[in-house]
Structure formats: C-alpha cells, structure tokens
C-alpha cells in the first residue's frame, strides 16, 4: 500500500513538474531552433515558415529556421536527435524522415523510437511534369520515350529517400521502364534543373510546379485519387493508365524522444490553432495543399502507418 502511494505521489509530482515546465515554456529570450532538412524555397521550407511565424507571434518568442540539407535529410535529423530533449529544437519532416533510414546501410536513427510526433502541417499531391524538350503529352508517350532514350531518361527528386524519389521508383516499375535517379538537396534546386532542361522529368509538389506548367513545364498526370481543382485539365494517374498509383508529400513536426509531453501538447495545440487561422490558411491554400487537424496521438498513429507502408513499398520496389 505504501509503495503504491509512493508511486502515485511520484507520478503526480512528475505531472505537476511537466505542467509547470510547459507553462513557462518558451523562456523569454531563448530562441527555438526549427531545423528544415531541405534547401530554402522548397515545399517543406515554405510550409514550415508559414506555420512557425504564426506560432512565434502567438508566443512572442524567437524562432530560428535552420536549413540543413544533405544525406537524404538524415544530416538534419541526426542533428536534432543529438540535441537536448528540452523542446528548443524542432524538426520539420516529410516522407523522407521515414524512408531515408530504409535506404541506409546503417540507419542512424529509428523514426518511431528516437522521436516523438508533434503535429502535421500539410500534404501535397505530386504532379508528373516533363521539360518541353520531351516529346510526350501523355504518360504512355513518356514511357515510350524513356524506353527509346535510356541515356536521357533521368528523373529528379528532392533527395535520396524523398517522397518523390520513392514515388518515382514505384512509378517506373509500373510503367516497365528504367530511369536513372538524380537526387537534389531539395525541391528548389531540383525544379531549377528541370526547368533548365538538365533533367527531363520529376514528380513535383503541386505548389512548386503549378506556376511553371504550360510554359516551362508540361504536366502529364496528377498522382492523386481525383483531379485537382488547380489543374482541372490534367488527368489522374488512373485516368492516364496507371490505376491505383498515388504519390504525395506530407509535412509535419517532431521532437526528440524524451521531450516533456506537456511541451509537445503545447506545440500541437499551437500548430492546430495556426492552421485554423484564416490568415495562415490564406497563405497555405494557394499552394494547393491539404490542411490537416490531428492531436498528437493521431499524428503518431499516422507516422506508424506511413512507416509500415514505406517498408512494404521498399520491399516491392527492390530498394536497398
């Protein structure tokens, strides 16, 4: 009986201490570092900055956005994984957070064990786009071109393990073609080389490629379940002859495992509040993204489900 009472008291004290820490968080004058594992100007960077700006104003706090591309996003992830679990270092993530460890000989982190889910921010469907020099107006014509031009057939991605890398690995197997992967340090440099004709094709985030379509790029299909309001004349992959194929980027925030749950909850509430704010939505929605609303546990379940899917796709695509 005494032992149970002691444990209950300890739990109560721990809970109270955690709540006290969350009430004084963030401390005045102490900056919060938000690490983005891609170059500035990409989808993850843009969404993170919009949300972080709102939270910083709400808390009257100082935020530092640190772009740290490289290593298939693992350099940035490891830097957050070695920082103190005190709530002052936050990692912006996308699909590659789960995929990159699957492609490493010695994974430097376990995404579900070493980090704690905070909140999702947005998701964006991919669009299959080609440089105008590619003589293809449909997915079938592109596949035929790629088979006939193996030396030129390369696809750009935001980086090794990025969402559009994984998506294209699946797509090329569905199309029965071999296309060489050209990884970049984010969507901005990949898009620049695509527009310049240095690489002929990419699955691009809608918000990044939309303004280039019809001029610098040609859209062949959207990798979404239904047609997009922003591109009503562009067919879905199913309509283009690739049934069941979808590919999307999603963006969220995590912290190092061991961070005070009360701080995690405080972040989750702040992000969800930001995503409900009309001024934030007005900045996000033109990018063509879907805006989610998930408590911490729901986002944790989403990451677990995506992690299982990533393992399955990696096996099916033969990726190592």
Residue 237 near residue 139 (C-beta atoms within 8 A): yes
Helices (H), 226-285: 261-276, 278-284
| CA torsion angle 123 128 131 132 (round to 10) | -120
Q: What is the pLDDT of residue 6?
A: 42
Checking if the pLDDT of 12 tops 80, the result is no
The yes-or-no answer to whether 17-123+249-317 and 125-222 have a common fold is yes
For residues 214-224, b (16+ Cβ closer than 10 Å) or e, as one string?
Answer: eebbbbbbbbb
What's the rounded mean pLDDT across residues 11-22?
A: 56
Residue 243's closest CA among 181, 305, 307, 175?
A: 175
Burial of 74 by CB count in 10 Å (0-12 exposed, 13-18 middle, 19+ buried)?
buried
Mean pLDDT of 240-248: 94
The pLDDT confidence band at residue 3, using thresholds 50, 70 and 90, is very low
Mean pLDDT, the chain, as a whole number?
Answer: 90
Which residues contact residue 46 at a Cβ distance below 8 angstroms, ignoring those fewer than 6 apart? 207, 287
Q: Please count the other Cβ atoms lying within 10 Å of the Cβ belonging to residue 165.
A: 27
What residue has token string 């843009």? 46
For residue 150, which of 178, 170, 172 has the smallest C-alpha distance? Answer: 178
* pLDDT higher at 317 or 69: 69
Give residue 251's pLDDT. 95
169 alpha carbon, distance to own chain's centre = 17
The mean pLDDT value for 197-207 works out to 94
Q: Where are the domains of the chain?
A: 17-123+249-317, 125-222
> How far is the first Cα of the chain from the last one, in angstroms, to the nearest whole number?
54
pLDDT band with cut points at 50, 70 and 90 for residue 19: low
The residues facing 129 across adjacent strands are: 202, 219
Where does residue 59 rank: exposed (0-12), middle (13-18), buried (19+ CB within 10 A)?
middle
Query: Taking residues 17-23, what's their average pLDDT?
Result: 64
Tokens 């570092």 sit on residue: 33
Residue-wise pLDDT for 100-122, tens only, equals 898 888 899 999 999 999 999 99
Residue 275: Cβ-neighbour burial (10 angstroms; 0-12, 13-18, 19+)? buried
Q: Does 10 have pLDDT greater than 70?
A: no
pLDDT exceeds cutoff 80 at 124: yes
**pLDDT higher at 177 or 187:** 177
- The pLDDT of residue 149 is above 60: yes
CA distance 102 to 319: 8
Residue 18: pLDDT over 60: no
**E strand segments, the chain:** 32-36, 63-67, 89-93, 115-130, 154-157, 180-183, 201-205, 218-222, 248-256
Spelled out in words, what is the top-level CATH class assigned to the domain 17-123+249-317? alpha beta
pLDDT over 90 percentage in the chain: 71
DSSP string for 211-229: GGBTTTBEEEEE-SSS-BT
Per CATH, domain 125-222 is 3.40.190.10: yes
pLDDT band with cut points at 50, 70 and 90 for residue 175: very high
């Amino acid at each position: 009986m005494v032992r149970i009472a002691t444990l209950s008291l300890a739990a109560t004290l721990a809970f109270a201490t955690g709540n006290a820490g969350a009430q004084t968080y963030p401390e005045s004058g102490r900056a919060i570092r938000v690490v983005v594992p891609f170059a500035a100007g990409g989808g993850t960077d843009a969404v993170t900055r919009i949300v972080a700006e709102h939270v910083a104003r709400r808390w009257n706090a100082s935020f530092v956005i640190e772009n740290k591309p490289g290593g298939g996003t693992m350099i940035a992830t490891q830097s957050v994984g070695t920082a103190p679990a005190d709530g002052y270092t936050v990692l912006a993530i996308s699909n590659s957070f789960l995929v990159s460890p699957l492609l490493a000989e010695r994974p430097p982190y376990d995404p579900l064990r070493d980090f704690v889910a905070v909140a999702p921010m947005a998701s964006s469907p991919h669009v299959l786009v080609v440089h105008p020099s590619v003589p293809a107006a449909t997915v079938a014509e592109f596949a035929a071109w790629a088979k006939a031009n193996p030396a030129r057939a390369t696809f750009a991605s935001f980086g090794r393990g990025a969402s559009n890398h994984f998506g294209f690995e699946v797509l090329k197997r569905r199309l029965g073609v071999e296309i060489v992967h050209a990884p970049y340090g984010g969507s901005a440099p990949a898009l620049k080389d695509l527009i310049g004709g240095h690489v002929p094709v990419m699955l691009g985030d809608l918000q990044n490629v939309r303004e280039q379509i019809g001029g610098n790029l040609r859209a062949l299909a959207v990798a979404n379940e239904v047609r997009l309001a922003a591109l009503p004349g562009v067919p879905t992959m199913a309509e283009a002859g690739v049934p069941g194929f979808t590919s999307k980027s999603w963006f969220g925030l995590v912290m190092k495992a061991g961070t005070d749950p009360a701080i995690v909850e405080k972040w989750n509430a702040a992000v969800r509040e930001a995503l409900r704010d009309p001024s934030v939505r007005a900045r996000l929605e033109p990018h063509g993204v879907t805006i989610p609303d998930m408590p911490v546990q729901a986002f944790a379940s989403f990451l677990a489900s995506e992690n299982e899917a990533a393992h399955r796709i990696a096996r099916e695509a033969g990726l190592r």
